[in-house]
Amino acid sequence: MLVVDCGRLSRSIAAIVHGYRTFDPAVNVAGVILNRVASDRHLEILKTALESIEIPILGVVRRQDEIAIPDRHLGLIPTEELLEVGEVIDRLAEVARSGFDWGRLLPMIGGVVRGSGRREISRLVTGGWVGLDSGWGGSRSGVQFLLCG
């Protein structure tokens, strides 16, 4: 699964996803999650571009400047140094609950979430099943990986 930062992308998303999909035949990119989508029009442009390479869109996260995890030059700040980490996780869990296609995602990650509340998704997100890694020194390529384990 590939999480793509769409903040500055339009039709070129197809080339980026196609490149990741075909670069290493041992890696199966089963779908994409579109991150930082600005508007409905932006989403339509992205969807149209991705239709040409026939890859499923498993989630859409709208741009939300009020949700931010601070970072340092070479990475994220440790959670024990973040005062509002619980609040940020709750907001991210709500984004995941409403923006991801859980019917398609859960079979891929092998997890089951009971109920539909924010806490259940929060446990899924914080329980080590799902994590985001923007790469060393930030996401210069605009791509983040969703790690399921």
pTM for this prediction:
0.69
Domain boundaries, the chain: 2-148
Q: How far apart are CA 131 and CA 133, in angstroms?
A: 7
The string of pLDDT tens digits covering residues 71-127 is 777 777 776 777 777 787 788 888 888 899 988 888 877 644 444 444 444 444 443
Residue 92's alpha-carbon distances to 29, 41, 119, 124, 139, in angstroms, are 23, 23, 11, 11, 19
Segment 51-56 shows an average pLDDT of 95
Contact status, residue 130 vs residue 147, Cβ threshold 8 Å: yes
